[in-house]
Amino acid sequence: METIKDIDLKNKTILVRTGFDVPLQKGKVVDNHRIVAGLPTIKYLLRQNCKIILIFHIGRPEGKVIRKLSVAPVQDELTTLLDLSIFKAPACTGKNIKEMVGSLEEQEILILENLRFYSGEEKNEENFARELASLAQVFVQDGFSVLHREHASTVGIPKFLPTVAGLLVAKEVGELGRAKDRPQRPAIVIIGGAKVETKIPVIDNLLKKRFDLALIGGTVANHFLALQGAGLKESLIEKDLLENCRKILERYKEKIILPSDFVWNNKGQIFDLGPKTICQYREIIRKAKTIIWNGPLGVFEEEKYAQGTGQIAEAIASSSAKKISGGGDTISALNKFRLLSKFDFVSTGGGTMLRFLAGEKLPGLEILKHET
């Protein structure tokens, strides 16, 4: 995969797809970590004297202009982070935009409006991709969090422009790829959370590869426990996922570690790991050399059920293993417990990371591999 460091970009006009889909509140960016993660690419392009056009989406406007989802707050945040004035276009395509790009000077940055204000983005319409491509000389893909999508800004534009990976995409693929394929052992994956169908393939793929153990929590654990005949009372289970879980449990019986005691809520649902399980998991974590963690181990948003997630996060943070994490709610948990900085690598892509770890091909990444 070629990156921006492999080709000559000096003085060129560059179209950069970033993953700046950040949470907004009252016109302000409330969590800027995805923007910060994209800065190395932008700074590199500034040093190469490039004219920079940034494209990305925020939220789900579904092809309509929704003022609340304008990219203006990201313009403000970037202005602060880079200490530069940054221009913002009122749209993504049209004569007006061509003129704005035409008047850009070297080392200037222009942000185009929310890509998903146009239905052509998610439908991967050729005309939309072609118009965006016509604005620049080179396309840089730095939006790791959208590489699993077949959109104009992932697979469309590369049909019309030379395309290379940005530094964030290169880092994500490098870090996650190394951990997945060549982990230092013992290697363990800790999986929790509630979006069960996205997690099962990760457990399957990592155990099939070189991972030694999977420690399970969250509602993911309920599925495996149900198959072992545990009395789960009213705990949450998606029945249609059980068959898949059964196969994995049979295939990797010794490698899947399940909770043995629980904290219940007053409706009879498992809402957290119990103390014995926490103790057992901590012991395994202490001996690991590689740890990948995704998914809170209980309903950590409520203080009563935050012990499992908090104590496991602490244990990972203080281990000497290579520590990798990701996932929207997992990052919220790490922020809450103030442990984010203890991790060696935190992915900017929840869904993308899980698909990548599951060994799925990501359309936006395949294109980068084939470009040269």
CA distance 295 to 70: 30
Among 127, 135, 104, 114, residue whose Cα is nearest residue 15: 135
193 contacts: CB under 8 Å, gap ≥ 6:
199, 218, 219, 220, 294, 295, 296, 327, 329, 330
d(CA 287, CA 235): 31
Q: Which of 27, 63, 94, 328 binds Mg ion (CB under 5 A)?
A: 328
C-alpha distance across the termini of the chain, in Å: 8
Q: Rounded to the nearest whole angstrom, what is the least distance from the CB of residue 1 to ligand ADP in the complex?
A: 26
**Helix pair 328-336, 307-317: axis angle to 10 deg:** 80
**Could you tell me the smallest distance in angstroms from the CB atom of residue 294 to Mg ion?**
9
* Phi-psi label, residue 262: left if phi above 0, alpha if psi -120 to 50, beta otherwise: beta
Select the span of 4-12, 91-99, 306-314, 329-337 touching Mg ion (CB under 5 A): 329-337
- Binding residues vs ligand ADP (CB under 6 A): 192-195, 218-219, 236, 270-271, 294-296, 298-299, 301, 327-330, 350
Q: Strand 290-294 vs strand 322-325: parallel, antiparallel, or unpaired?
A: parallel
Q: Which is nearer to ligand ADP, 21 or 329 (CB)?
A: 329
Q: Least distance (Å) from ligand ADP to the CB of residue 300?
A: 6
Residues 88 to 127: which contact Mg ion by CB under 5 A? none
Q: Min. distance of Cβ 329 from ligand ADP in angstroms? A: 3
Of 112-120, 242-250, 251-259, 321-329: span binding Mg ion (CB under 5 A)? 321-329
| Cβ at position 351, least distance to Mg ion in Å | 9
* Residue positions annotated with a catalytic role: 34, 195, 328, 351
CB of 297 to ligand ADP, least distance (A): 6
Q: Which of 305, 329, 331, 365 binds Mg ion (CB under 5 A)?
A: 329
Nearest-angstrom CA–CA distance, 33 and 69: 18
Pick what 236 binds: Mg ion, ligand ADP, none; C-beta below 5 to 8 Å, kind-dependent.
Answer: ligand ADP
CB nearer to ligand ADP: pick between 61 and 259: 259
Give the sheet arrangement for strand 256-257, strand by strand.
Answer: 256-257, 213-216, 187-191, 290-294, 322-325, 345-346
What, of Mg ion, ligand ADP, none, does residue 271 touch, CB below 5 to 8 Å by kind?
ligand ADP
With a CB cutoff of 8 Å and minimum separation 6, the contacts of 94 are none
Distances (CA, A) of 153 to 17, 48, 95, 128: 7, 23, 20, 9
Task: Please give the Cα distance from 88 to 112 (Å, whole number).
Answer: 6
Looking at the Cβ atoms of 75 and 294, the one nearer to ligand ADP is 294
* Identity of the residue, 140 or 221, whose beta carbon is nearer to ligand ADP in the bound complex: 221
Residue 265 or 332: the one with the smaller Cβ distance to Mg ion is: 332
| Residue number with CB closer to ligand ADP (38 or 218) | 218
Cα–Cα distance for residue pair 45/295, rounded to 1 Å: 35
- Under a CB-based contact definition with an 8 Å cutoff, are residues 217 and 262 in contact? no
Q: Tell me the window of 162-170, 184-192, 249-257, 328-336 that interacts with Mg ion (CB under 5 A).
A: 328-336
Contacted by 34, from ligand ADP, Mg ion, none: CB < 5 to 8 Å by type: none
Residue 274 CB, nearest distance to Mg ion (Å)? 23
Judged by beta carbon, residue 50 or residue 324, the one nearer ligand ADP is 324
H helices of the chain, where? 33-47, 72-82, 95-102, 119-122, 126-133, 167-181, 196-208, 218-227, 242-251, 275-287, 307-317, 328-336, 350-357, 363-370
Binding region for Mg ion (CB under 5 A) out of 7-15, 16-24, 100-108, 322-330 = 322-330
Residue 177 binding partner per list ligand ADP, Mg ion, none, with a CB distance cut-off of 5 to 8 Å that depends on partner kind: none
Give the footprint of Mg ion on this chain (CB under 5 A): 328-329
